[in-house]
């Protein structure tokens, strides 16, 4: 389990634990949540497609502290946040926000959106979800209220049955069938993950010996 104490020493300049309160002009902000264990190219492609097709100003990657719907052991908060920073630092429209890691406990999107709406109500927030998240969204904590607070955006996957129970904006993206689970399995079995994750992330995983167990 991760906690806020292990996040305080994250040595990354772009990963931001705090929320800027100085900006008065509203922005169109995409939100991508998840464990990012590890972040991979499908995450980045989906974010870029949503950014460009919906004319967003930024996409914020917000890693979970403890996900409510997953039971698999997590790599440390520090490692996951560092990999996100490495993966996004070359895109000026991508930002890493450590709000949920610093809040601690189980990460509920409704809590994060309430915080963001309180700190910067002038922004419009777009909750970007993969096809699997679209189909399970109705099970999320306070889903009806969450759907009112943010515009829901689904990344369309060809051939994947999609049954949204709330209004949804659909974004088409290249069909990259890739998961963090598959990447962890590949690392554990000695299979190459080159080109499946950004190269700095691959090198970090190798250097730290992540996912070998």
Residue 11's pLDDT is 41
Per the structure, the complete domain to which residue 126 belongs is given by 32-177
Q: How many domains does the chain have?
A: 1
Residue 70's pLDDT is 72
Assess if residue 204 is contained within a domain.
no
Note the pLDDT tens digit of each residue in 176-186.
889 999 999 99
Assess if residue 37 is contained within a domain.
yes
For residue 62, the SS3 value is strand
**Alpha helices (H) in the chain, listed in sequence order:** 41-53, 77-88, 99-103, 109-119, 131-136, 143-149, 180-188, 199-208
Residue 69's pLDDT is 78
Which of 50, 70, 27 shows the shortest CA–CA distance to 129?
A: 50
179-199 burial string, b = 16+ CB within 10 Å, else e?
A: ebeebbeebeeeeebeebbbe
Report residues of the chain scoring pLDDT below 70: 1-24, 72
Assess if residue 122 is contained within a domain.
yes
Assess if residue 80 is contained within a domain.
yes
pTM metric for this prediction: 0.88
Assess if residue 13 is contained within a domain.
no
| 131 close to 157: Cβ distance less than 8 angstroms | yes
Residue 77's pLDDT is 95
Assess if residue 22 is contained within a domain.
no
Assess if residue 199 is contained within a domain.
no
- Domain containing 112 — which CATH number? 3.40.50.620
């Amino acid at each position: 389990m991760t906690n806020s104490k292990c996040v305080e020493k994250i040595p990354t300049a772009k990963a931001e634990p705090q929320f800027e309160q100085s900006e008065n002009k509203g922005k169109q902000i995409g939100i991508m949540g998840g464990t990012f264990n590890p972040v991979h190219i499908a995450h980045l492609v989906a974010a870029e497609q949503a950014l460009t097709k919906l004319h967003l100003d930024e996409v914020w990657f917000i890693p979970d502290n403890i996900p409510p719907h997953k039971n698999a052991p997590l790599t440390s908060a520090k490692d996951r946040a560092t990999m996100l920073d490495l993966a996004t630092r070359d895109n000026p429209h991508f930002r890493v926000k450590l709000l949920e890691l610093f809040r601690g406990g189980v990460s509920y999107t409704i809590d994060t959106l309430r915080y963001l709406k309180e700190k910067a109500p002038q922004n419009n927030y777009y909750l970007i979800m993969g096809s699997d998240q679209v189909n399970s969204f109705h099970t999320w904590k306070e889903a009806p209220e969450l759907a009112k607070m943010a515009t829901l955006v689904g990344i369309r996957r060809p051939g994947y049955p999609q049954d949204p129970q709330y209004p949804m904006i659909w974004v088409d993206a290249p069909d990259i069938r890739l998961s963090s689970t598959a990447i962890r399995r590949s690392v554990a079995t000695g299979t190459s993950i080159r080109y499946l994750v950004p190269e700095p992330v691959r090198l970090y995983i190798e250097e730290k010996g992540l996912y070998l167990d």
